[in-house]
């Protein structure tokens, strides 16, 4: 633990701000009952809130929080050490840059912003001021991802040649700012930013190509889904699929290796189904019969040549995110979510929009 208790101001008081509040005040972002006891176990105290809208400000007061009359007032509060930006996406850049320039450390919700140009301005502001700037890529701590990452690192499937990462829902785009282009809405920025970040974190190789197509099933304002194929120099291929009109979901993760296959059914599942070869000599079988024709190639393997098992990892501990922030501020650690990683994800997303626009596969330069 750090000796000092850091004071935080939060800009934008919607769903994610509330999630951070509960995490900071109780150690549990999914804390349900209110009023609850505020113990600030992470060493951070919420000093106050600012939101440009009246309703969230009223909610903040109901939640027992102080409110600032303006963002300027928050910036001028010398007690504030850290500003958390949980606004719509297009406001992140100005909020973060002004926070850094006012001498605060800054945390941005994801997506960090809407373009690599904006992100570079934010990074420049952090370097210029010497203040810490981190991005809340919280899904690095998701249990489903951590299980896949563990299997990947242990080489349990042999050499992995394809990974499929899916986020399937059926509600369309939310009716709020997430459905508007000018606010940085759309599924690529909302979910793409997470699932791309996970794969770039896990796979230690250079990207070769990006191919993406965006969906507009329920709205023509933003992408309400997409599929993207990312290839790496070593030949590994990742298929990403995000959909908001998927009334039946395909598995969250599906990974193919030379020696086995992994499947994780749902977002948040820490358990993976893994089937692996244990005997490479016996791969022949009786044909299976379909309505017309027979197939030998697609007949199931016999049980004695493979083993099926449930592999699981532990849940991630998101408190590490804030512990790392404070330790980074105190110079004891380097930040977990590195800004060059955030920039790389942003550039992949930009390449995906370009691919969709041109209808072509984009060579990714890095």
**Mind spelling out the 3-state secondary structure of the chain?**
CCCCCEEEEEECCCHHHHHHHHHHHHCCCCCCCCCCCCCCCCCEEEEEEECCCHHHHHHHHHCCCCECCCHHHHHHCCCCCEEEECCCHHHHHHHHHHHHHCCCEEEECCCCCCCHHHHHHHHHHHHHHCCCEEECCHHHHCHHHHHHHHHHHHCCCCCEEEEEEEEECCCCCCCCHHHCHHHCCCHHHHHHHHHHHHHHHHCCCCEEEEEEEEECCCCCCCCCEEEEEEEECCCCEEEEEEECCCCCCCCCEEEEECCEEEEECCCCCCEEEEEEECCCCCCCCCCEECCCCEECCCCCCCHHHEEEEEEECCCCCCHHHHHHHHHHHCCCCCCCCCHHHHHHHHHHHHHHHHHHHHCCCEECCC
Residue among 102 and 201 whose Cβ is closer to a second copy? 201
- Residue 288 near a second copy by CB under 8 A: yes
CA distances from 254 to 163, 203, 270, 308 (A): 6, 15, 14, 15
Give min distance, CB of 344 to a second copy, in A: 21
* Contact window for a second copy (CB under 8 A) among 3-11, 37-45, 59-67, 173-181: 173-181
CA dihedral 97, 99, 103, 104 (to 10 degrees): -120
Give min distance, CB of 129 to a second copy, in A: 28
Q: Which of 52, 61, 76, 250 is close enough to bind a second copy by CB under 8 A?
A: 250
Q: Which of residues 177-196 bind a second copy (CB under 8 A)?
A: 178, 187, 190-191
x/- track of binding to a second copy for residues 203-222 (CB under 8 A): ------x-x-x-x-xx----
x/- track of binding to a second copy for residues 137-156 (CB under 8 A): -xxxxxxx-x----------
Give min distance, CB of 3 to a second copy, in A: 26
Residue among 45 and 259 whose Cβ is closer to a second copy? 259
Q: Which of residues 319-338 bind a second copy (CB under 8 A)?
A: 321
Distance, in Å, from the CA atom of 301 to the CA atom of 277, rounded to the nearest integer, reads 10
Residue among 123 and 230 whose Cβ is closer to a second copy? 230
Give min distance, CB of 159 to a second copy, in A: 9
- Residue 175 near a second copy by CB under 8 A: yes
Residue among 124 and 295 whose Cβ is closer to a second copy? 295
Distance, in Å, from the CA atom of 329 to the CA atom of 105, rounded to the nearest integer, reads 8
Give min distance, CB of 269 to a second copy, in A: 10
Give min distance, CB of 193 to a second copy, in A: 12
- Residue 243 near a second copy by CB under 8 A: yes
Give min distance, CB of 268 to a second copy, in A: 4
Residue among 9 and 257 whose Cβ is closer to a second copy? 257
- Residue 245 near a second copy by CB under 8 A: yes
Q: Which of residues 107-136 bind a second copy (CB under 8 A)?
A: none
Q: Which of 8, 16, 83, 96 is close enough to bind a second copy by CB under 8 A?
A: 16
Pairing assessment for the beta strands 6-11 and 44-50 based on DSSP bridges? parallel
Give min distance, CB of 173 to a second copy, in A: 7
- Residue 251 near a second copy by CB under 8 A: yes
Q: Which of residues 257-286 bind a second copy (CB under 8 A)?
A: 257-258, 260-263, 267-268, 270, 273, 275-277, 283-285
CB 255 within 8 A of CB 148: yes
Residue among 76 and 288 whose Cβ is closer to a second copy? 288
- Residue 309 near a second copy by CB under 8 A: no
């Amino acid at each position: 633990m750090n000796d000092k208790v850091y004071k935080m101001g939060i800009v934008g008081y919607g769903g994610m701000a509330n999630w951070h509040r509960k995490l900071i005040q109780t150690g549990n972002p999914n804390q349900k009952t209110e009023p609850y006891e505020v113990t600030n176990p992470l060493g951070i105290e919420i000093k106050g809130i600012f939101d440009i809208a009246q309703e969230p400000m009223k909610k903040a007061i109901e939640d027992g929080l102080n409110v600032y009359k303006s963002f300027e007032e928050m910036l001028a509060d010398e007690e504030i050490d850290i500003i958390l930006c949980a606004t719509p996406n297009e406001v992140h850049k100005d909020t973060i840059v002004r926070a850094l320039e006012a001498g605060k450390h800054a945390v941005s919700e994801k997506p960090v912003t809407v373009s690599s140009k904006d992100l570079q301005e934010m990074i420049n502001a952090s370097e210029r001021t010497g203040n810490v700037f981190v991005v809340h890529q919280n899904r690095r701590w998701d249990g489903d991802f951590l299980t896949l990452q563990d299997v990947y690192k242990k080489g349990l499937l042999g050499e992995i040649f394809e990974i499929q990462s899916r986020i399937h829902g059926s509600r369309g785009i939310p009716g709020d700012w997430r459905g508007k282009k000018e606010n940085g809405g759309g599924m690529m920025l909302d979910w793409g930013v997470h699932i791309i970040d996970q794969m770039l974190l896990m796979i230690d190789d250079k990207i070769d190509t990006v191919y993406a197509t965006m969906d507009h099933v329920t709205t023509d304002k933003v992408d309400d889904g997409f599929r993207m194929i990312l290839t790496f120099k070593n030949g590994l291929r990742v298929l990403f699929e995000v959909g908001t009109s998927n009334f039946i979901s395909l598995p969250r993760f599906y990974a193919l290796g030379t020696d086995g296959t992994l499947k994780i059914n749902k977002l948040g599942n820490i358990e993976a189904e893994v089937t692996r070869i244990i005997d490479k000599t016996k791969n022949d079988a009786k044909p299976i019969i379909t309505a017309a024709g027979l197939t030998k190639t697609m007949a199931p393997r016999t049980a004695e040549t493979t083993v099926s098992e449930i592999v699981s990892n532990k849940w991630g501990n998101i408190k590490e995110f804030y512990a790392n922030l404070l330790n980074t501020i105190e110079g004891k650690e380097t930040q977990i979510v590195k800004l060059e990683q955030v920039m790389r994800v942003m550039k992949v997303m930009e390449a995906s929009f370009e691919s969709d626009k041109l209808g072509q596969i984009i060579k990714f330069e890095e």
